[in-house]
Every structure is written in C-alpha cells, then in structure tokens.
A and B are shown apart, each in its own frame.
Chain A
C-alpha cells in the first residue's frame, strides 16, 4: 500500500474551479482506479484504467476526467460540472485488471 501516493491530502475548491488530484504508484501495476467516498458511505467507482493510454468510465464519471499517459500516474480532474464534489477521493491500483486492489491514503476535497 505504501507504493501509492496521493496528493494533496487536503484540497479546497472554489465554485467554478477545476482541481486535479494526483496519484502516483511505484508498484509497476497495470491497472489504476479512482473511487469517491462520501461521509459514512461506501465506495463508488469514478474511472478506471486497465493499461496505460486507456481508461473507462465507472459508475459516477460525470463531472470528472482522467488521463493515463504514464503507467505510474493516473490524475483525476474534478471539473466545475461536478456540482457536489465534497468527498474523500481514493486512488487504487492492482497488478492487472481483476486482481487485488490496493488503495492510496486518499485526498479530502472540500468546496468553499
């Protein structure tokens, strides 16, 4: 788990702003994921990437965008189209798609 680094840990967004959450892994994992967790709730899949230069929408992709230009990096942009972005965002990776998922430490995003 220590090989997945998310930054920043805390982020504040103003109305109408786009913000980008960073996720880097040094585990040589092919697959990477972004989940959203609202307080007291479960995990919802935003986007996932099975391999570099490929990504797919998850269950709640609207208002978010991603890129996967490098194997170790999978940044998530929360756009102004996401009307209620305040949540805990978790990046995860697995050695290949369909294998055990390991999570990063998460990023807290708050709209001010």
Chain B
C-alpha cells in the first residue's frame, strides 16, 4: 500500500519567517494530496489540497507544490504568525490502495513571537 513520510517532525521558526514541510509518498498512482492543520485539542482542518494534474497551488500565505517525478509534495507557509502554530498533517490518496487516504506522521510547527 501507500506509505507517506513527513519531515521534519518538529519545526520552530521566528514570526515572519517562512516554514516548509515536506512529504514523500511511495505509490506513483497517488493523485490527491491534502494538508490538514490541527490546533491543540481540536480536530484536523483542511487548509489546502492539490491534485496530480497541478504542480502548485496557492491560497494567501500558504502554498503546496507537487513533484510527481520525485514523489514528494511540500507545504509552504510565508510570513508566519503565532496562530500558525499547530500540527500539520499531509496525506496522499491512491487508487491502488483502494482510494484510501494515507496520512503522514505530522509536523509540530512552533512560531515564536
């Protein structure tokens, strides 16, 4: 089945700096890649997603890039703010895995004021 690895597991940045979280996946048939943000004690919320026919997608301060050849995708947050502090999960959906969504292990992002 699909295997998704997420790095780094923790990331600390200064407010205003950029943050980048990277995920690699194993199944070349994966075609949908969402990112979720989970604040402490709350539910994961979808913040951005990308499909395999697109290389990059942006929404204000966040962007996701996809490299199908290398089988990795990344979340970019610019001008980070303290409220960006949370755990971020990437995921990949593979037709070969029965259309199951496989999650990465998560990245704890801390934005220091």
Chain A interface (Cβ < 8 Å from any Cβ of B):
1, 41-43, 45, 90, 97-98, 100-106
16 sampled A-B residue pairs with Cβ under 8 A: A1-B43, A41-B106, A42-B106, A45-B100, A97-B99, A98-B32, A98-B95, A98-B99, A98-B100, A98-B101, A100-B32, A101-B46, A101-B101, A102-B46, A103-B44, A106-B42
Most chain A CB within 10 A, of B49, B89, B95, B101, is at: B101
B-side residues, CB < 8 A to A, are 32, 34, 36, 42-46, 49, 89, 93, 95, 99-101, 103-106
Partner of A106, one of B34, B43, B46, B106: B43
Let me know if A42 and B43 touch, CB within 8 A: no
Q: Please judge, given known A-B contacts A42-B103, A42-B106, A43-B103, whether A98 and B42 are in contact too, CB under 8 Å.
A: no
Q: Which listed residue (A45, A100, A104) contacts B43, Cβ 8 A? A: A104
Q: Which of B34, B43, B106 has the most chain A CB atoms inside 10 A of its CB?
A: B43
Q: Which 4 A-B pairs have the closest CB atoms?
A: A98-B99, A103-B43, A42-B105, A43-B103
Q: Known contacts being A42-B103, A42-B104, A42-B106, is A90 close to B44, with CB within 8 Å? A: yes
